[in-house]
Homo-oligomer: A and B are copies of this chain.
Amino acid sequence: MTEADFLAAVRALPLHPGALGLRDDAARLGRLVLTSDTLVEGVHYLAGDPPGDVAWKLVATNLSDLAAKGAVPVGVMLNYPLRRAAVPPPGDATAGEASPSEGWDSAFLAGLADALTTFAAPILGGDTVSLPAHAPRVITLTALGDAAHAPPRSGAQAGDALWVTGTIGDAGAGLAIAHGQPGPAELLAAYRRPQPQLAAGQALAPQVHAMMDVSDGLLIDAQRMAAASGLAVTIDLAAIPLSDAYRAQAGDTRAARCAAATAGDDYQLLFALAPHRAPAAPATRIGVFASGAGLTLHDAGAPLSLPGALGYQHAG
């Protein structure tokens, strides 16, 4: 089954009203906000990635969904597979040594401890299961948060300005560094240890009309917010905020800005705010919503055709 077919079938099941039709990043249960992410080895991370960073990113991506709802983290549930050690062939001299899996689990837990402590998100529960040797790990984290005002993804209004927190493209540049390209630790850290924008989300939630996090790419996520709100959105590529480190690494050309706007993994907050209103957290105004549909791009006024890919398209 394709993901689209599966999601359509799940939407035909009995849905809780708080599921918001499974069209938002998080579910609502009174003040409680719930979100869940599953990572698959070889799909969402590579077997050779540092396990502590895998854990950090799993926590950070979940908390980023809470940040987009202006929520304060309450706790997390962890569903973790302990892979059985492969049975060594008889007479293998390495028999009796600690398996590589042992080190992976410990390093994962160390990264988890870092992230949970940094973001004040304690463990609430979960499940530990055993996994056959050689099977790819499948790790699930579910995060719960508390929010008085949880803005939807779909609430942008015609005339609203589109804003984004922080800088865009650093994680994309960090991914290239993780793949072996030379570059500064700062960009690699943006990819490996993203920072969920919890404080900004809490400050912004009461004033914005719509908010979501930038996970798959600024352009594709902005297009999704516009589509969910039944509106068109126009973005000024020249306005997209780049870090000094990104400019030093990739330049400040149109191509470099386009790469930043489609790279994903930023975990900044994208939000719609009434015109002439100042945001309650540092952010950059990058576009405007209007009646209609679709995404239009320009570069300081010069019309641009859209890049072939606006961001990461989920196969799953």
Interface residues in chain A, defined as those with a beta carbon under 8 Å from any beta carbon in chain B: 1-3, 6-7, 9-10, 13-16, 18-19, 22, 26-27, 29, 32, 34-40, 42-44, 74-75, 77-82, 101-102, 105-106, 109, 112-113, 116-117, 120-132, 135-136, 138, 140, 142, 144, 315-316
Contact = CB atoms under 8 A, between A and B. Distances in A.
B82 A130 contact: no
Given A78-B10, A129-B316, A132-B136, A1 B106 contact: yes
Contacts of A128: 3, 6-7, 10, 316
Contacts of A44: 129
As for how many copies of this chain the complex holds, the number is 2
25 contacts: A1-B82, A1-B101, A2-B82, A6-B80, A6-B105, A6-B109, A9-B106, A9-B109, A10-B128, A16-B75, A16-B123, A16-B124, A18-B75, A19-B124, A26-B125, A29-B74, A36-B77, A38-B127, A38-B140, A42-B132, A43-B132, A79-B140, A81-B138, A129-B316, A135-B136
Nearest to A113: B13
B123 A13 contact: yes
A13 B316 contact: no
Nearest to A125: B27
A29 B75 contact: yes
A81 B38 contact: yes
A129 B38 contact: yes
A260 to B, nearest CB: 26
A106 B19 CA distance: 21
B132 A34 contact: no
